[in-house]
Amino acid sequence: MADAQALDEVVDFTSDLIRIDTTNRGGGDCRERPAAEYAAERLAAAGLEPMLLERTPGRTNVVARIEGTDPSADALLVHGHLDVVPARAEDWSVHPFSGEVRDGVVWGRGAVDMKNMDAMILAVVRAWARQGVRPRRDLVIAFTADEEASAEDGAGFLAERHAELFEGCTEGIGESGAFTFHDGTGREIYPIAAGERGTAWLRLSARGRAGHGSRVNRENAVTRLAAAVARIGAHEWPVRLTPTVRAALTELAALYGIETDLRDVDALLDKLGPAARLVEATLRNSANPTMFEAGYKINVIPGEAVAHVDGRCLPGGEEEFRTTLDELTGPDVDWEFEHREVALQAPADSPTFAAMRAAVEAFAPEGHVVPYCMAGGTDAKQFSRLGITGYGFSPLKLPEDFDYHHLFHGVDERVPVEALHFGVRVLDRFLRTV
């Protein structure tokens, strides 16, 4: 069991890490090294030998291994990222990099995404060092850079250049799972991620005939691109049920006493009420236009226009995605992948998933654990290149007024102290028993 010091440290570590500004603005504009050094110092104080690894100066990753008691057992990867998305201080109630603890809540960018989990890992590892605890399986601890952009300086670099550090790892746990979802009827649901949609960020370009804005122009690049973007935004993607989403729907239907009819998913979602939010974003591929670049003067028709689209693909859905984009863009608009990562699936009936379920239920007996698929992606994509099956498991027990998903990348990001205590206890139990 995690000791009292671990419960104090997880709050201190979360607050300290938030105060270290690791804003990732993309394009290489980030410096994780101070946070990496902070984590490495605390791992070293627990008797480990952390390695600081960089592809680019300042973009630092930390990796350490804890030797297990069973040398025949497969190793487990436990990972969290150190970078955060930008935050504008003028929009926040509390400065986003203050790490302030107020009224039992830790405030700041990274409080849920995901310096809280980084702090939990550090707190558990240090508690084990004090107690002389060793896990059954080898644990590889990794704190990564660059997750909020391309991961090229983080998990991608580690998987490509330092695969030997992850020798024996067959499974891993990372962000976004085992948090409290309140359905509005008093039920507490704890979704554990057993899948992720793939990333398909696109660049669309249209060429046309440049000219004067007062003249008729049937080859207007802006018009061509705008029409394609409108078609993409309005497209209704068909439902495609993956094994993870099927399992989620089946378990949710059983929880609510609803007959499971996966032939009519829309009707089933209506019956699930608010709980439908756990699956509705992962029923199909998606493509959302997000950026538009064209022109340089109001009376000049430009010869080129560019747009960007955030696409996401279900496991097995990339061929359909490509074919559909070809149809929607048409003959006058070209498209290409600007950033692309694989979709993931993990078995929801594995011993590891069962251990996660048991750990949550031990400290939230009133809760209901279900598998789910993440709409976005994590570093698990890069680590999958090493044959590591990834789960989302960053346990938090949240009150009803905390909307976990809206706090991700949102204003006034924060996490209750009690949620961090719950996370340490659950993570400690899971890592001891898995």
Active site residue 332: no
Active site residue 83: yes
Query: Is CATH 3.30.1330.50 the classification given to domain 199-238+285-341?
Result: no
* Under 8 Å between Cβ of 100 and 196: no
Contacts of 131 (CB under 8 A, 6+ apart): 3
pLDDT exceeds cutoff 90 at 406: no
Contacts of 293 (CB under 8 A, 6+ apart): 305, 306, 307
- Per residue in 119-158, pLDDT tens? 999 999 999 999 999 999 999 999 999 999 999 999 999 9
Contacts of 361 (CB under 8 A, 6+ apart): 367, 369
How far, CA to CA in Å, does 8 sit from each of 14, 79, 428? 10, 21, 15
Specify the amino acid at residue 182: H
Separation between Cα atoms, residue 418 and residue 176, nearest integer Å: 18
Q: Specify the length of the chain in residues.
A: 434
The arithmetic mean of pLDDT across residues 281-300, rounded, is 96
* Per-residue pLDDT at 200: 96
Separation between Cα atoms, residue 306 and residue 212, nearest integer Å: 19
pLDDT exceeds cutoff 90 at 403: no
Selected catalytic residue, list 9, 146, 147, 428: 147
* Under 8 Å between Cβ of 355 and 430: yes
Separation between Cα atoms, residue 246 and residue 371, nearest integer Å: 9
4-176+378-433 folds as Aminopeptidase (3.40.630)
The values of phi and psi at residue 356, to 5°, are: -65, -45
pLDDT exceeds cutoff 90 at 335: yes
- Domain limits, CATH 3.30.70.360, in the chain: 199-238+285-341
Q: How far apart are the first and last CA of the chain?
A: 15
